[in-house]
Amino acid sequence: MLRYIARLGIISTLQMLAITILAFTVIHLAPGEPIVLQQDLQARATGAQRESLRQLFELDKPLYVQYWRWVNRLARLDLGRSFSPDGRPVWDKIRERIPITLSLNLAEICLIYLLAVPLGVFAAVRRHSFFDRLTTVFVFIGFATPDFWLALLLMILFGIQLGWLPISGLRSLNWEYLGLAAQVRDVASHLVLPIFIGAFGGLAGLSRFMRGSLLEVIRQDYIRTAQAKGLPEHVVLYKHALRNAILPIVTLLGLSLPGLIGGSVIVETIFAIPGMGQLAVQSVFARDYPVVMGLLAIGSGLTLLGNRLADVCYGIVDPRIRVARRSE
Amino acid sequence: MAALLSLGACGRGESTAEPATGEGGPAFGDTLVEAAIGDISGLIPNITSDSASHDIGNLIYSNLIRTDKSLRLEGELAERWEISRDELTITFHLRKGVKWHDGEELTAHDVDFTYRYMIDPKTPTAYAEPFRQVRRAEVVDRYTYRVTYEKPYAPALLSWGIWILPRHILEATWQAGVDLRTTRQNRHPVGTGPYLFREWRTGEKIVLEANPDYFEGRPYLNRVVYRIIPDQSTIFLELKARNIDRAGLTPIQYRRQTDYSAFRSAFNRYRYLANGYAYLGFNLLDPRFADKRVRQAMAYAIDKHEIIEGVLLGLGQAAAGPYKPGTWWYHPDVKPYPFDPARAKALLAEAGWKPTQRDGILERDGKPFSFTLRTNQGNLVRQQTAEIIQRRLGAVGIDVKIHIVEWAAFINTFIRKRDFEALILGWGLGNDPDQYDLWHSSKTGPDELNHISYKNPRVDELLEAGRRTFEEARRKAIYGELQEIMAEEQPVVFLYVPETLPVVSSRVRGIEPAPAGISYNFIKWYVPANLQRYTR
C-alpha cells in the first residue's frame, strides 16, 4: 500500500511539473506583456519606466530561468507577487476569493446532484413516459441556452420587473448594519440567481448522464438475473442497478473538485461576484503571470488530487476495484 | 459648450416618491452609489493609471492646483502662486491649517516629499516627466514651496495637480527602500481631500465618507460607494433598478434605451464633449503613408459625419485637430476635412496611385494599395468605425483589412514594436495644450507616445516654444499655428471627439454642467432632506 501511495506521489509530481512547464511556456508565448488594463492612451502618461519594470519582474531573463525561480518559490509554497499595480502577494489575492467561489460552487454542485440524480433516475425508469419527454425537452433547452443571456433575462424579471431579488453583488450596501439573520438572508437572496444560473447547464447535462447510465445498467444480465429470481422491482432498481449506474457519476464528482475553486467566469462577471473566475480573467488580460500561474498550479494540483480521490471513491462504491488493487 | 439635454425632474408616480417642486435646500446626508467596471489598482493614485483609482484618489487626496469649471487653473492646497519674471521659478503659498485625515497638518514638506517620490527612478509612475524638468526644489518655510526649472516650462503648473502624499506616513518606509505599493497607504489611504477612506473590499466595493474637517467645507453627500461591477450590461440593469446613482451611458443606451419617462424622471442625463479624440493613425515609417497627399486623400475619403451618425448616434463632433473644441487654445478656423472622394482620388493619382483594370484597387509600381487596419478588442465603437472606413477607402480604391486585437497584445506586439500599418485609437487629453510627448520627433522610442513616428521640424519648434512661455496669448498663437500645420499635414486622420454621457440620480441637486464636465463641484452636490434614500 505504501509503495502504491509513493508511486502515486511520484507520478503526480511529474505530472504537475509537466503541466506547469507547458502552462508557463504557453502563457509566455501569448503576445503582450504585463500592462495596466485600460482602453485609452493617456497623453499625460509617459511610459519611461517600462524597462525598469521588466527588470523588476525579471522578464528580461530567459524563460527557463524564470521558470526555475518560479518552481523554486513554489516548492517553498510561495506563489510570488502580482505584477499588477497593487503588487500584492499572489496567495493573498487568491485566498480572499476562495471562500466566495468555493461556497458558490458547493451550493451549485449540491443543487445539481440533488436534482439531477433523481431526475435522471425517474427519466430512466419511466422511459418514454410524458415525464421523460418533459425532462428531455428541459435538458435540450438547458444545453442550448447561453448562461449570460438567461442570467440577464432573470435579472430583468426578478430584479427590475418583480423586484424580488437583488440584481448583482454579494450583499446589500447596508449589510454591515443588519442583524445576523438578516445578513444571512441578504447574502442568500443575492446568491439565488447566480447559483441557479451556475447549476442550470450542469443540471441538464448530469441528469441526462444519469439517465443514460441507468438505462445501460438495466440492460445488463445481472439485472435480468435479479428480476428472474423474483426480487421486487424497487430492490432491483435501487439496490442492484442504481449502485452500478452511479459509478460514473462519482467519477464526475471527483473531476469537479478543481472546478470547485475554478469559478465560473460568466456567472461571476455578470453578477459582479468577486471570485476566482473574475481574478483569472483579469490576470490573463493584464498578463499578470504570477497570478495566472498561481491559479494554474492550484487548479492542476486539485485536478490531480481529484483524480486520485475518484480512484479511492471507486474503491468504496465498487468492491471489485478495491479487490483488484489489493491483489496488485 | 456643455449641453444639458433632458431634465426630467417632475415625478411620475413610481415606487419611490420622486421630487415635488419646492423641496428643502442643501442638506447633509445620503449616499451616492457609483459603478466601476473594474477594481481599482491601488489608492496611491500617483502610481496607478486607471481612471477609477484616479476618480477615487481625487476625493481622498488634494492637489496644489486644479482646474476650475471652465478649465482655468485655480489653487487648491496652494492659496496662490507666483511665477518669477524669467518664468523659471514658481513659488507656491500653501493654505494654512489643512489637516491630514489623521489630524497632522499639511506642510510644504509633504509637497516636497511628493516631489522627491515622483522623481525617484524606482517609483513606478507614468507622471514623472514634468517633475524631472525641475532643477531645484526647496521648502522655503512651513507654508511656502519653491521650484525652479531648467527652462521655462508651461505645463509645470498643471503638473502640480498631482496628488500630495503624506510625508509623515510614508517617508521613513520609502527611505528604507520599501515599495510603497505594498504599504498600508495603498489600501487604507490618509489624504487631505473631501472624503475619508472607509473600506475597500477587493472586487466588491470601495466606501468613502465625508470629511467633516475638509478645508473647503464638509461635502453634503455623506458617503460615496463605488461598486465594482465588471459587466457593462449588469451596470445598466442596476442603474435601471436605481441601485446605482451615477454611471456613464453608451451612445446606444443614451439614444434608445433610456429615453422613456420612468428613466427620465429617475435620472438626469447630461452630455458634453469628452476631453479626447479618436484618430486613424498610420505608421509614417511606411513610405506609402509618409506621403502627405496620401494622408490627405484618406481624410477626404472618410465621411466623419457618417461615423458620428452611424456609430456614435450623433453624440460627437468631427475632429479638426488634436484639441477639444471650446478650450482657449482651440483654433476655431481650422475645419475638419469635408467628405470629398473625388478630391481623394485626385490626390492619390497625384501621388502615383493609379487604378488598374482588375479589382479597382489602386496600384503603384505594380503593387496594390492594401493595408491592415488594427484596433483593440472590446471597443465596439472603434470596430464599427473601422468597418465604415474600410468601405469608404475601398470606394476610392484602397484595400483595407481589419484586424481586431486584444489590448495587451495590441500595445505590446504592434504598437511598441512599430509593427503596424494603420490603427484606430483614441487619446485622452490633459488640460494643457502641450502635446510634446505625442508629436515631437524625439519621442519616437518604443515606449514613447509618438508611435506613428511623426517628424516635422516646424512642429518640433512650435512644441518646444509652446512649453517655454506661460503667456496665454503667445501660447495661443503658437498652438494655433500647430493646428494649422496639423490640418494641412494630417499626421493622423482626426476622426471625432465623442461625447461623455453621464447620468445622475435626479434626487441629487447642485449639479452644474460646465466645460469641465459635472464632477468639478462634487462637494456641493446634495440630496434634499425629504428625498434622501440611504439614512445610514
CA gap A49, A52 in Å, rounded:
5
Instruction: Give the mean model confidence (pLDDT) for residues B341-361.
Output: 88
Cα torsion at A121, A124, A127, A133 (round to 10°)?
70
The answer to whether B427 contacts A84, with C-beta atoms less than 8 Å apart, is no
- pTM, entire model: 0.83
Q: What is the per-residue pLDDT across B459-487, written as a single tens digit (0 to 9) for each?
A: 999 999 999 999 999 999 999 999 999 99
Give yes or no for residue A67 having a pLDDT over 80: yes
Q: What is the per-residue pLDDT across A305-327, written as a single tens digit (0 to 9) for each?
A: 877 777 777 767 666 665 555 55
Query: Can you tell me which residue has the cell 485655480?
Result: B74
> How many residues would you count in chain A?
328
Output the pLDDT for position A236. Answer: 82
Contacts of A41 in chain B (CB under 8 A): 425-428, 449
Contacts of A270 in chain B (CB under 8 A): 231, 233-234
Q: Using the 8-state DSSP alphabet, how is residue A230 labeled? A: T
Distances (CA, A) of B130 to A227, B343, B425: 88, 43, 25
Distances (CA, A) of B436 to A16, A293, B460: 51, 40, 8
The answer to whether A48 contacts B128, with C-beta atoms less than 8 Å apart, is yes
Contact B479, B329 (CB under 8 A): yes
The answer to whether A45 contacts B241, with C-beta atoms less than 8 Å apart, is no
Nearest to B407 among A37, A155, A282 (CB): A37
Output the pLDDT for position B10. Answer: 32
C-alpha cell at B339: 467628405
Q: Report which of A173, A5, A87, A45 is spatially closest to residue B181, judged by C-alpha positions.
A: A87
Q: Using the 8-state DSSP alphabet, how is residue B410 labeled? A: I
The answer to whether B227 contacts A32, with C-beta atoms less than 8 Å apart, is no
Give yes or no for residue A39 having a pLDDT over 70: no
Half-sphere exposure of B183 (CA within 13 A, CB side): 20
Output the pLDDT for position B125. Answer: 81
Give yes or no for residue B12 having a pLDDT over 50: no
Q: How many CB pairs under 8 A join A and B?
A: 178
A41-42 and B367-368 strand pairing = unpaired
Percent of chain A with pLDDT over 70: 85
Q: What is the per-residue pLDDT across B288-333, written as a single tens digit (0 to 9) for each?
A: 999 999 999 999 999 999 999 999 999 999 999 999 998 899 999 9
Q: Which chain A residue is nearest to residue B411, measuring alpha carbons? A: A32
Mutual orientation of helices A2-29 and A289-317 as an angle, nearest 10°?
150
Contacts of A189 in chain B (CB under 8 A): none
C-alpha cell at B274: 469628452
Give yes or no for residue A18 having a pLDDT over 60: yes
Percent of chain B with pLDDT over 70: 95
Query: How many other CB atoms are found less than 10 A from the CB of residue B243?
Result: 21
CA gap A217, A124 in Å, rounded:
10
Q: Report which of B209, B220, B196, B195 is spatially closest to residue B529, judged by C-alpha positions.
A: B220
Distances (CA, A) of B392 to A2, B387, B454: 73, 9, 25
Nearest to A39 among B238, B376, B534 (CB): B376
Give yes or no for residue B262 having a pLDDT over 70: yes
Give yes or no for residue A34 having a pLDDT over 80: no
Output the pLDDT for position A44. Answer: 55
Q: What is the per-residue pLDDT across A210-226, written as a single tens digit (0 to 9) for each?
A: 888 888 888 888 888 88
B496 — phi, psi (to 5°)?
A: -155, 160
The answer to whether A49 contacts B128, with C-beta atoms less than 8 Å apart, is yes
The H or E element containing residue B504 is strand B502-505
CA gap B402, A252 in Å, rounded:
43
Q: Report which of B253, B280, B327 is spatially closest to residue B500, judged by C-alpha positions.
A: B253
- Name B269's bridge partners: B6, B503
Q: What is the per-residue pLDDT across B54-95, written as a single tens digit (0 to 9) for each?
A: 899 999 999 999 999 888 899 999 999 999 999 999 999 999
Output the pLDDT for position B1. Answer: 30
Output the pLDDT for position A27. Answer: 83
Instruction: Give the mean model confidence (pLDDT) for residues B401-405.
Output: 92
The amino acid present at B285, given as its one-letter code, is L
Apex CA B413: angle with CA B412 and CA B419, to 5°? 125
For every residue of B367-394, DSSP letters joined together read: EE-EEEEEEETT-HHHHHHHHHHHHHHH
A287 close contact with B: CB closer than 8 A = yes
Output the pLDDT for position B164. Answer: 96
B174 — phi, psi (to 5°)?
A: -65, -45
At B37, the pLDDT band (50, 70, 90 cuts) reads: confident
Q: Report which of B480, B497, B374 is spatially closest to residue B428, judged by C-alpha positions.
A: B497
At A47, the pLDDT band (50, 70, 90 cuts) reads: low
The answer to whether B447 contacts A47, with C-beta atoms less than 8 Å apart, is yes
Give yes or no for residue B11 having a pLDDT over 70: no
Higher pLDDT, B124 or A112: A112
Q: Where are any strands of DSSP class E within chain A?
A: 41-42
Q: Report which of A97, A90, A91 is spatially closest to residue A288, judged by C-alpha positions.
A: A90
Contacts of A88 in chain B (CB under 8 A): 182
